[in-house]
Structures are given as C-alpha cells and as structure tokens.
Amino acid sequence: MDNSILSVILNPIRMRIIQALIKNKEMTVQQIAKELPQVPQATLYRHLNKLLKSNAIVVVKENKIRGTVEKTYGLEKDPYLSITKELDKHGKEEYLNLFYNYLMILLGDFERYISIETSDLAKDGVTFRSAAIYLSDEEYREFLGDLIKVFDKIRDNKPSPDRRLRKISTIVMPTVEED
C-alpha cells in the first residue's frame, strides 16, 4: 500500500498540510508555507505532489501570474470516504497498521518535545490521559458533536506571538470488557 491514500497521509508533514486545508478550505503553496514555516519549500512541494497523486488533495484553481501558474489546493470532496473505502478493501490488519503508524507519529512528536532542554511539561500544559465512560449511542453522538463545537471555536486561530502551536490528538474506541 505504498501509494495508497492511507500510507500517504500517515506522515507528520502531510497530516499538517491536510489539517491546514481542513481549516482554510483552499490554499496556495505560499499560504501553506506560511502555516508550516519550518518546512523547506522543496520539501513542501514534494509532499503536496504525493498528496495530489494519492487524490487526498486536488487543485481547485489555477491562476496565471507573471508567466507562471499559481495552484490553489483543497481537499478531495470527501477524503474520509476514500479512506474508509481503502480500509474496507484491506481489512482489519490495515486498521491495525494505520493505528500503529498514528501512535508512532505521536510518539515521535512527544520524543522531539521532551528532548528539548527547556521543555517544561507543567508550564506547557502537556497532558495525556484515558477516561472510560459509559454512553449510549445517542449520548456518544452528542458528546462528539460537543467536542467538534469546542474544536471549531479555536480551529481558525492564526499564528501570533502569544500563541504556541499545540497538538491535540484523540483516540476513541469501545472497551472490550474482560470477564
């Protein structure tokens, strides 16, 4: 599955490009570069090309500017449908691989943070926890809706001197109760 949409999006830089497009709907390379200032432009173009080839993103506009073409990128109309179809084709083993890769990305992010001499977990608000809660299907849908509303309130925040980029990751799954 080297060129599948799943293996392509499971990359920290490509995930951040997708997150930027989710937040902004349509962006040029310059706008994406501004959102990801630590990514060299050549690297950014390489990742955009991989996302295009996998159909995770599409070119939504092309503008001619002084003899060159500026492309505006957006997400495929329903990228989650493509991912679901891909997972359905490959079965549960691929779900496990996807989840493992996701965890490895999180572990790498945390390892990079913790290796910084000035990292201060309490001051930086670093936390991870697990909560087991009983919810009916209706309560669960309501909870997810509330969570989405909370994320929507801050999703469009732009970088500023008083803002720090923070990564919030969620994993939701039912627990298999043991006898």
Domain map of the chain by residue range?
5-79
Positive or negative: CA dihedral 45, 47, 48, 50: positive
Are 54 and 18 in contact by the 8 Å Cβ rule? The answer is no
Q: Is the dihedral of CA 32, 20, 9, 40 positive or negative?
A: positive
Lookup: tokens for 46 = 């390489």
Q: CB-based contacts of 23: which residues, under 8 Å, 6+ apart?
A: 155, 156
pLDDT class of 79 with cuts at 50, 70, 90:
low
Which residues fall within 8 angstroms of residue 83, CB to CB, at 6 or more apart?
5, 6, 9
Whether residue 2 has pLDDT greater than 60: no
- 54 φ, ψ (degrees, to nearest 5): -85, -5
Query: Would you say the pTM of this structure is higher than 0.75?
Result: no
pLDDT band at residue 40 using 50, 70 and 90 as cut-offs: very high
102 has a pLDDT exceeding 60: yes
Instruction: Give residue 47's pLDDT.
Output: 95
Tokens of 37: 């200032």
- Are the beta carbons of 48 and 57 closer than 8 angstroms? yes
| CB atoms closer than 10 angstroms to residue 27 | 21
CA dist., res. 88 & res. 95, Å (int): 9
Question: What would the CATH number be for the domain defined by 5-79?
Answer: 1.10.10.10
Higher-confidence residue of 6 and 159: namely 159
